[in-house]
Amino acid sequence: MTEPSRRRPDLLPIIVLLAIIGVIFAGLWLFPYLQAAIQRRDCIAIGRVDCD
């Protein structure tokens, strides 16, 4: 009898999962900065001058 050929595990699903997790964490990290920029823009848009 011949031995079954041994294949190494497929890495594509692991890479895709890590990429998705990375995108989620990047979004969570950037969200406060984007929210502050939007609030600043809205403040300026309504004509206020004391926008921080």
* pLDDT tens digits along 30-52: 999 999 999 999 999 999 988 87
CB of 40 within 8 A of CB of 51? yes
Q: Which two tokens stand for residue 7?
A: 């294949």
pTM of the predicted model over 0.75:
no
Predicted local distance difference test score (pLDDT) of residue 49: 86
Tokens linked to 28: 């969570």
Burial of 43 (0-12, 13-18, 19+ CB in 10 A): middle
Secondary structure class of 49 (helix, strand, coil): coil
